[in-house]
Amino acid sequence: MEIWAHRGASAVAPENTMAAFVKAYESGADAIEVDVQRTSDGVLVIMHDETVNRTTQGRGYIYSASFAWLSQLDAGYKFSSSFHGERVPTLDQTLSFVESTSLRINIELKIVQNTYVGIEEQVIDAIKQRDLTDRVVISSFHYPSLRRIKQLDPNQAIGLLCTQYNAVTPMYAKQFGAEAVHPHWKTISPTYMNEAFEQNIKIRPYTVNDPRIVRTLNAWGIDAVITNHPGLVRKVITTN
Ligand code: G3P
Ligand code: MG
């Protein structure tokens, strides 16, 4: 079972920061999951929310902020004073870090309607510039963006995010050319897993932090879990 670190090792470091990505790598994660947004001047940055309010001292929407302003924000201190001074990483900084490790990366496209026009092209360009296609999976709850990604690069692996896995989910995955479905963990079952396996579709549930759930999913033979706590999950599956 692979371990994918949700927003990096976000249980032990501020989410979606370089500190969280480094911790994920050090804890034995196989991949990091990150969320991408875009500033008013077109820089792709790693943040989960549409605004900077929850994770930094600033206020406002990312799409209306300049990168110069955003890059001054402190993305660490709200998590803990020991992370004071952590910055919001750009996608390119994050790809550069991934390149220097054996990690893979799951880039989740966060789509703000009518605002991030052309973000799919930008993300594909950033990946290609570093020749990282084989180490990237792009996921989104916004399926038109996944369709666009496949049009831009049929070799780019994509994962269909869904809050509710159901009997027709594999059919959707096939239609979109997705190699995987990333569902909420509560909605999957061994039956669904076997059906997906037969159709060569991987299931990587989010967000799995409870050791009991980790053990159950591992026993089912799940492909990967997306977790805030890669170190804990590594310990659980190696002491099983
Ligand atoms: O990729 C899984 C997970 O990140 C999806 O939800 O809201 O944490 O981005 P969210
Ligand atoms: Mg995400």
Q: Name residue 31's beta-bridge partners.
A: 4, 104
pLDDT of residue 102: 97
In angstroms, what is the span from residue 198 Cα to ligand 2's centroid? 27
Catalytic (active site) residue 182: no
In angstroms, what is the span from residue 141 Cα to ligand 2's centroid? 9
Tokens of 138: 């792009």
Mutate-to-test residue for ligand 1 from 3, 7, 32, 33, highest number of ligand atoms within 8 A of CB: 33
Q: Name residue 109's beta-bridge partners.
A: 36
Q: Is 120 in the pocket of ligand 1 (CB under 6 A)?
A: no
- Tell me which residues of the chain have a pLDDT lower than 70: 240
Q: What gap in Å lies between CA 51 and CA 165, rounded to an integer?
A: 28
pLDDT of residue 240: 63
Catalytic (active site) residue 84: no
Overall pTM > 0.95: yes
Q: Is 182 in the pocket of ligand 1 (CB under 6 A)?
A: yes
Q: Name all domains of the chain by residue range, CATH numbers in brackets.
A: 2-238 (3.20.20.190)
ipTM for this prediction? 0.98
**CA distances (Å), origin 36, targets 18, 27, 192:** 14, 23, 29
